[in-house]
Chain A
């Protein structure tokens, strides 16, 4: 099963197995990782699942939809590697993915 690494804003590292087809958001929620709130349950409506994608992985992840891009421009502290984690589906190719969690979601 692919492993995703979630790094909290305070540096705490969580490596968890996330089944292919599951979103990066769900992987965090399932494992009770603080820092991803996911109020809308993954319907791209709340932006409380904002993460920063580790640079090495940016081009392996399909581009964001217009809706997601619009939301991302308005999150607190947006960066060029910002994504909504509910919109990223884990695949075997993403085994080893590293994401950082913003301080604002704690």
Chain B
């Protein structure tokens, strides 16, 4: 009998962790990770942070060096795309036709950028930011006195704006909504980030309806429906991501805004797990279905999925968390704030660069946004995950140490 083979599709945060966790959990068979990017799994968050700035290089981004995977017998097939899964015969097919058999399969296909298809969006210099190649492209258009327009005021757009500003470009953010970070946070935080970006020299325009990009062989301007024109040498579009679920859907797995997985990261097929950006799970804490886009979720789900494949039943119940670095500001978010009924501010968002926001529902803390306030983040995380009660008046009083609230 040949040894059992587990194939992992997608070589990034979730795929890398899943492969390593499989070994740690005792999987003795073959492990093959297939990824369509030409690189070993790398850290994506620095792409819009220290990698864009040139501080970090490709080798610094790798989650683990090649030799370490070799040591534990994890094989990679990179630059190859899986185009079909046949669940009945337990095979999968690569784009050039090669067929692999699997005993167990893990889907860690992640997400891809949502594209904007309007006139001129194929001009040179109109780019996205999701992978190493994107950043290499962006580099061609970076230089002092150049003008960059960021389309979309989400976290990645804002981080990119901060970095390009630091690199000496004149940066404008164009947001379709009434405020930046509209989709993900409360007005207080949007106002704070607007102020900071303005202070740093980044221009932010909201309620902007873009109609197209103009230019000869490369982009020169962004055109708006109201006739407004913004000159640009570089445009970066950051309007969110869509999960890579087509493969799973075609294979007959349940897909509802992500591949549906249970508490053990198992799909409806007992031999197929999924983890990371591509999944949708029912969150026991928030009592709702969630598709998360974060490294924490990718890593934690991957560990659970690996355990499942090794017949160990652990449940995914980690508290979601996220971070974002812009200028000298570290934002740390724990929990999910949507659906909150009340918020408590600690510190002053209108001035300075340090405060936090705590979100409550039915008197229970459900999330915290901590700006340059690591203690509020750390303690908030504990309060939320343990369901502790806190005195909101003391919480709002920044002269009281946050750590005292736990006593």
Q: Which residues of A contact B (CB under 8 A)?
A: 29-32, 34, 37, 39-41, 43-47, 67, 70-71, 73-75
Contact = CB atoms under 8 A, between A and B. Distances in A.
Contact of A40 (B23, B295, B375, B403): B295
B324 to A, nearest CB: 9
Given A30-B65, A39-B296, A45-B323, A67 B20 contact: no
B24 interface: yes
A37 B403 CA distance: 24
A45 B322 CA distance: 9
B325 A43 contact: yes
A93 to B, nearest CB: 22
A32 B24 contact: yes
B72 interface: yes
B379 A74 contact: yes
B351 interface: no
B315 interface: no
Contacts of B379: 74
A74 B375 contact: yes
Interface string B20-57: 10011000000000000000000101100100000000
Contact of B64 (A29, A43, A44): A29
Contacts of B112: none
A74 B24 contact: no
Given A32-B68, A40-B45, A74-B374, 4 more contacts: A47-B374, A47-B378, A71-B378, A74-B403
22 contacts: A29-B63, A29-B64, A32-B20, A32-B23, A39-B296, A39-B299, A43-B46, A43-B323, A45-B323, A45-B325, A45-B330, A45-B332, A46-B321, A46-B323, A67-B374, A70-B373, A71-B378, A73-B403, A74-B378, A74-B379, A74-B382, A74-B403
Interface of B: 20, 23-24, 43, 45-46, 49, 63-65, 68, 72, 295-296, 299, 321, 323, 325, 330, 332, 372-375, 378-379, 382, 403
Q: Indicate the member of A37, A43, A74 with the most B CB atoms within 10 Å.
A: A74
Contacts of A47: 374, 378
A46 B378 CA distance: 8
A41 B295 contact: yes
B72 A32 contact: yes
A41 B332 CA distance: 14
Contacts of B403: 73-74
Nearest to B65: A30
A90 B295 CA distance: 25
A41 B43 contact: yes
Q: Indicate the member of A34, A37, A43 with the most B CB atoms within 10 Å.
A: A43
A44 B323 CA distance: 10
B68 A39 contact: no
B46 A41 contact: yes
B382 to A, nearest CB: 8
Nearest to A29: B64
A20 to B, nearest CB: 14
Contacts of B321: 39, 46
Nearest to A70: B374
Contacts of A73: 375, 403
B264 to A, nearest CB: 20
B63 to A, nearest CB: 7
A46 B68 CA distance: 24
A69 to B, nearest CB: 9
Nearest to A41: B43
